[in-house]
Amino acid sequence: MARLRVGVLISGRGSNLQALIDAAADPAYPAEIVLVVANHGDAGGLARAKAAGIRTETINHRAFNAKQGFEASIDATLRAARIDLVCLAGFMRILSSWFVERWRDRLINIHPSLLPAFKGLDTHERVLAAGARFTGCTVHFVRPDVDDGPIIVQAVVPVMPDDDADSLAARVLGAEHHSYPLAVRLIAEGRIQIRDDRVDILNAAAPAEVVMFNPIK
């Protein structure tokens, strides 16, 4: 069976991109990263892609007078590369409804919270301010509203009593690096169905019980 052709949109260092690259390096992994697109040339993830022999493109949003032209250029680049699935990995541009609908159910994102809680920016600071005992990350299909859409994979991590935003972010990022490749695998294996804007995972075994880890002794 042909591997799923994945394109990744980035703006920054590309640590989640690297997790996807590492997963796809296994010939048994059902997806391959064939294109990485950055919205500016200083994105650190471009070097990661080039080191892995993956084609890269820079489409600078500042080169366009309007969002429509920027997104149309990205869309044309993805389609020319015959991309099956688009992964947002630290892509710091809000996509229009036009683009989202063009790639509906073929566009996914990872967010550093347990959605629908703590949408938007400054996630870890807000988690700490709220006194939450746990947080995590969410991989979801993208919808026009920011950080919204059917949830594919979530991972939970504890909030430690001595956490600051940086230490909590590092713990959540570790969960992200496992969750994103898993979500792509589930899609590539054809195990994801969307019904009534919710995700069903085929052949998924639910645990008999849920264990909550309490970091407070």
- pLDDT (tens digit per residue) in 113-124: 999 999 999 999
Interval 4-24 mean pLDDT: 97
Cα end-to-end span (Å), the chain: 50
| Superfamily (CATH) of domain 1-103 | Formyl transferase, N-terminal domain (3.40.50.170)
Q: Counting Cβ atoms within 10 Å, is residue 37 exposed (0-12), middle (13-18) or buried (19+)?
A: buried
Looking at 40, 61, 111, 140, which residue is catalytic?
111
Would you kindly state where each structural domain of the chain is located, as residue ranges? 1-103, 108-217
For the residues of 92-128, what is the DSSP string, one character each? -SPPPHHHHHHTTTSEEEEESS-TTSS-SS-HHHHHH
Which residue do the tokens 């471009």 mark? 46
The CA distance from 138 to 154, in Å, is: 4
The CA distance from 33 to 14, in Å, is: 13
Task: Tokens for 73, please give them.
Answer: 């250029």
The pLDDT score that the predictor gives to residue 205 is: 67
| Superfamily (CATH) of domain 108-217 | Formyl transferase, N-terminal domain (3.40.50.170)
pLDDT higher than 50, residue 204: yes
pLDDT higher than 50, residue 20: yes
Its sign, for the CA torsion 120, 86, 177, 49, is: negative
Strand partners, 134: 158
The pLDDT score that the predictor gives to residue 203 is: 86
pLDDT higher than 60, residue 27: yes
Where on the phi/psi map is residue 140: left (φ > 0), alpha (ψ -120 to 50), or beta?
Answer: beta
Considering only the C-alpha atoms of the chain, give the largest distance between any 2 of them, rounded to a whole number of Å. 56
Is the bond into 181 cis (omega within 30 degrees of 0)?
no
111 is catalytic: yes
pLDDT higher than 90, residue 211: no
pLDDT in tens, 34-62: 999 999 999 999 999 999 999 999 999 99
Strand partners, 151: 140
> What Cα–Cα distance (Å) separates residue 36 from each residue in 55, 156, 206?
6, 28, 34
pLDDT in tens, 130-152: 999 999 999 999 999 999 999 99
Closest CA to 109 of 145, 157, 58: 145
